[in-house]
Structure 1
Amino acid sequence: MRRFLIAAAVTLTLASTPVLAQTTSAPASSAPAKPKYTSTDTDLGTLLDDPVAKAIVEKHIPGLTTNDQVDMARGMTLKAIQQYSPDEVTDARLAAIDAELAKLH
């Protein structure tokens, strides 16, 4: 009986409490929008499948997107690929790629 009374009291309390989600709006986000793609989070396959992103990668790292072995690296990020080709996939090039990718939404 006691459980029933407690449950009834909770139910009545919840039923009489206004739902905040219905009366308040979400606060405006002051954080900048997260980039669609990045060199550290987006795998190469995703970048290659987007013609605009692929052109950005090719612009900054010429020949990467047409390399015979590019399909083997589709699951890797550009940052991960950097360890295998540090002379071509430099921090400066990755920063330039990220700057252009950030403009895509």
Structure 2
Amino acid sequence: MAVAALLLAPATLAHAQTAKAPAAAPTTAASAGRYSVATTEIGTLLDDPAAKAVIEKHIPGMTTNEQVDMARAMTLKDIQQYSPDQLTDKVLAETDADLAKLPVKPVAAAPAK
């Protein structure tokens, strides 16, 4: 079974979007100084090609799933609860270690009006 299909199934995402927010709100990668599976939103990781490649390496198919945009405001740690057999602590630790090696891509400022 593809991890992306399990993680991003409509029922899972619908539940995740209505679930309580995590105790610690995700931070931006720039404020944290590095990417993290626990604190960096999936959308931020997807917007950085190097971080996206790390996700694809450890969680094949997730970045290309047509429903991945529904999880952009969540962290990989947040979605672990919906797929603990696929997103094991080991997978997240390996992903986190690879993400920590990457330079944080600056967030583009919104254009002035």
Q: 1:69 aligns with which of 67, 70, 74?
A: 67
Residue identity matched to 1:61: I
**Residue 35 of structure 1 contacts residue 101 of structure 1 at CA under 8 Å; is this kept in 2?**
no
Tell me the percent identity.
Answer: 67
Which residue in the other structure is 1:41 paired with? 39
Q: Does residue 54 of structure 1 match 2:52?
A: yes
What is the total number of aligned residue pairs between the two structures? Answer: 72
In structure 1, the gaps of 5 or more residues are 1-33
Which residue in the other structure is 2:93 paired with? 95
Quick one: distance in 2 between partners of 1:71 and 1:39? 17
Point out 4+ residue stretches in structure 1 off by more than 6 angstroms.
Answer: none
CA RMSD of aligned residues (A): 1.2
TM-score (ref. length: structure 1)? 0.64
Q: 1:68 Cα deviation (Å)?
A: 2.2
Quick one: distance in 2 between partners of 1:35 and 1:89? 24
Quick one: distance in 2 between partners of 1:35 and 1:82? 23
Residue identity matched to 1:104: L
Larger radius of gyration between Structure 1 and Structure 2: 1
1:58-82 Cα distance to aligned partner (Å, 9 max, x none): 0000011111221110000000011
Which residue in the other structure is 2:81 paired with? 83
Quick one: distance in 2 between partners of 1:87 and 1:68? 22
**Residue 35 of structure 1 contacts residue 102 of structure 1 at CA under 8 Å; is this kept in 2?**
no
In structure 2, the gaps of 5 or more residues are 1-31, 104-113
